[in-house]
């Protein structure tokens, strides 16, 4: 059985997110003896365009230098990057936690529509006043917390305004519309996968059920009283679920 001290979690944030979004989770897992790397995804776009596949490979290369047991954690956009990481040859991951993520679109019309949608957000990133931009992002229906969850403090993230160019680029390079449809390939992921969604997020709960059906070694969990932002809506339940599952698959 692996000791918690032998485990490193690599955490990938979502769109308009930051590595520090994982701070509370990292602290909770550190109390359980596990090391957490909170990955700043924007640094992979700070010089030039980079595809999801190339970004995933860059993360894999970093993790490959770590001699401990590497477990990947990806939320939403970070979850899509994580799936690409898991499908790369000779990847360094022993297991993965995927949260509220999409394996990809098959319909060319849907892909085109999503690219147009994300291009609009890319332009907004470069030109809109920061506070109104963040307000527009947080006001989307899919990002709302359930009514029975105490309303979290709005995520203003003023420090992220320094990353406007990288965030704008991510809406092009990492758009769901530009992503390879991974549905035909996810059965290739043989490592243990915990796929998490919130019970108030029916779209991504359905995706979680479908994906878990194809994955040969998957556990699907729906967290109660949570929307799309599961780690934010229910941080304790999320942490407990992840910690318990990790211990069960690293025996």
| pTM score | 0.96
Grouping H, G, I as helix, E, B as strand and the rest as coil, residue 183 is coil
What the block records as the tokens of 195 is 């796929």
* CATH code, 234: 3.40.50.1820
Cβ neighbours of residue 36 under 8 Å, at least 6 residues apart? 8, 9, 11, 22, 25, 26, 29, 30
Query: Is the confidence at residue 102, as pLDDT, over 80?
Result: yes
Grouping H, G, I as helix, E, B as strand and the rest as coil, residue 193 is strand
48 burial via Cβ count (<10 Å: 0-12, 13-18, 19+): exposed
Question: CA-based angle 101:112:140, to the nearest 5?
Answer: 50
Above pLDDT 90, what percent of the chain? 90
pLDDT at 14: 97
- The DSSP element (H or E) to which 55 belongs, if any, is helix 52-63
pLDDT (tens digit per residue) in 132-185:
999 999 999 999 989 888 765 555 667 789 999 999 999 999 999 999 999 999
What the block records as the tokens of 151 is 């309303």
DSSP character string of 132-153: HHHHHHHTSGGGPPPTTSPPPP
| Cα distance between residue 159 and residue 137, in whole Å | 16
Strand order in the sheet with 93-99: 35-39, 7-12, 69-75, 93-99, 193-198, 218-223
Parent domain of 149:
4-249
pLDDT (tens digit per residue) in 211-238:
999 999 999 999 999 999 999 999 999 9
DSSP 209: H
Domains held by the chain: number:
1
pLDDT at 156: 60
Q: What's the Cα-to-Cα distance from 5 to each of 18, 219, 248, rounded to whole Å?
A: 25, 24, 15
pLDDT at 149: 80
pLDDT (tens digit per residue) in 60-88:
999 999 999 999 999 999 999 999 999 99
**pLDDT, the chain, mean:** 95
pLDDT tier for residue 251 given thresholds of 50, 70 and 90: confident
pLDDT tier for residue 109 given thresholds of 50, 70 and 90: very high
């Amino acid at each position: 059985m692996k000791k918690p001290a032998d485990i490193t979690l690599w955490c990938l944030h979502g769109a308009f997110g930051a590595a520090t979004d994982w701070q509370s989770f990292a602290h909770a897992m550190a109390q359980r003896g596990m090391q957490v790397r909170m990955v700043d995804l924007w640094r992979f776009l700070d010089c030039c365009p980079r595809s999801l596949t190339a970004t995933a490979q860059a993360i894999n290369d970093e993790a490959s230098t770590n001699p401990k047991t590497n477990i990947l954690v990806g939320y939403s956009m970070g979850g899509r990057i994580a799936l690409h990481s898991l499908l790369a040859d000779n990847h360094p991951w022993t297991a993965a936690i995927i949260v509220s993520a999409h394996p990809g679109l098959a319909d060319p019309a849907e892909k085109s529509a999503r690219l147009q949608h994300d291009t609009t957000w890319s332009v907004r990133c470069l030109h809109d006043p920061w506070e109104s931009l963040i307000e527009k992002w947080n006001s989307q229906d899919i990002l709302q917390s359930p009514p029975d969850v105490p309303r979290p403090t709005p995520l203003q993230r003023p420090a992220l305004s320094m990353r406007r160019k990288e965030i704008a680029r991510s809406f092009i390079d990492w758009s769901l519309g530009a992503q390879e449809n991974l549905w035909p390939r996810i059965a290739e992921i043989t490592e243990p996968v915990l796929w998490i969604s919130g019970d108030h997020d029916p779209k991504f709960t359905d995706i979680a059920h479908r994906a878990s059906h194809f994955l040969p070694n998957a556990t699907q969990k729906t967290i109660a009283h949570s929307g799309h932002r599961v780690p934010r809506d229910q941080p304790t339940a999320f942490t407990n679920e992840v910690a318990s599952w990790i211990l069960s698959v690293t025996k």
